[in-house]
Structure 1
Amino acid sequence: MTRSSPFGSPLFLGFDHLEQMLERLSKNGGEGYPPYNIEQTGPSSLRITLAVAGFTMEDLAITVEDSQLVIRGRQAEDSQGRVFLHRGIAARQFQRTFVLAEGIEVKGAWLDNGLLHIDLERLQPESRARSVPIGSRPGGATP
């Protein structure tokens, strides 16, 4: 059974990259760790907040790869000499990916009380309207 895509229509020329991003997003959709919030902090600004208790700044990495914001966390094993009677605090690695729309820029990030905050801003696109002149067929011949 083949899956039809709305981007297969001839009306959507050049949207192949958008279709690929949607496919990547659907593959990542089931992962729920770490939990996060997305809030609008201004008319053109957003903030993503991830709950990363137990992670230090050195344990976290934030990159932008092909219009995707990727947050990775990996804790170093420091349980040397410690005996846990119960270990309920997760010490696992994670990767959380957010697809960024065109014109969204990452402005900064900070870690505060176990919450990683990432500020984003939507840049106002400049108008790209232009006229296309209509001329005669090159060479003057008609078909």
Structure 2
Amino acid sequence: MNTMSLSPLFRRSIGFDRLNDLFEASLQNDVPSYPPYNVEKHGENDYRIAVAAAGFSESELDVNVEKRVLTISAGKGERNDGAQVQYLHQGIAQRAFKLSFRLDENIEVQGARLENGLLVVDLLRVVPEEQRPRQIPINGSQRQLTDSQETRADSAVV
């Protein structure tokens, strides 16, 4: 069992409690090797996941988002064309799979499409205005706390 402490990383950070949990979970889970996939970044806020889905139709693929986890899965149904197939070489696996990706709270799934044997899922990071960087003025025209506000703040803490 790996016992690695990430506490030195968090000494100078605030509000990254879930990040520690994410690191611990990623150390415990095995990375799936099937099907092959790419995670791509296009520009500053555009992301794309491309999954090799050769041999799967749109009806056999599922893309779901639940509790900030993107799940891509596929199940290969039985052949309904009535033809008995004997493979001399079967290099396209076409076996069922399930991939999961944890999404940041600002990532939105824009859509999914199947093109040229790849399932492409487009993602967009939408940063709310209150989370964007802003300049804080020093000795600016911002209101200062008065004695009555400080007293109320101190009594609320107690």
Where do residues 1-143 of structure 1 align in structure 2 (5 Å cutoff)?
A: 2-6=3-7, 15-78=16-79, 81-127=84-130, 135-136=150-151, 137-138=154-155
Amino acid aligned to 1:25: S
- Which letter maps to 1:45? D
Alpha-carbon distance between aligned partners in 1 of 2:19 and 2:25, rounded to the nearest angstrom: 10
Any idea what SS the aligned residue of 1:127 has?
helix
The 1:110–1:28 alpha-carbon spacing in structure 2 relative to 1, beyond 3 Å, is: farther
- TM-score, normalised by the number of residues in structure 2: 0.70
In structure 2, distance between residues paired with 1:33 and 1:45? 25
Structure 1 residues 6, 70: closer, same or farther in 2, change over 3 A? farther
Larger radius of gyration: 2
**C-alpha displacement of 1:9:** 5.8
Q: Tell me the secondary structure at the aligned position of residue 26 of structure 2.
A: helix
Any unmatched runs of 5+ in structure 1? Answer: none
The structure whose RCO (Cα within 8 Å, separation 6+) is larger is 1
Q: Provide structure 2 residue ranges, at least 5 long, that are not aligned to the other structure.
A: 135-142
Report percent identity of matched pairs.
38
Deviations 1:72-117 (A, max 9, x none): 1111122862222332220211111222122010000100111111
Distance 2:43 2:14 in 1: 33
How many pairs are equivalent?
139
Q: CA RMSD in A?
A: 3.2
Question: Greater helix percent: which structure?
Answer: 2
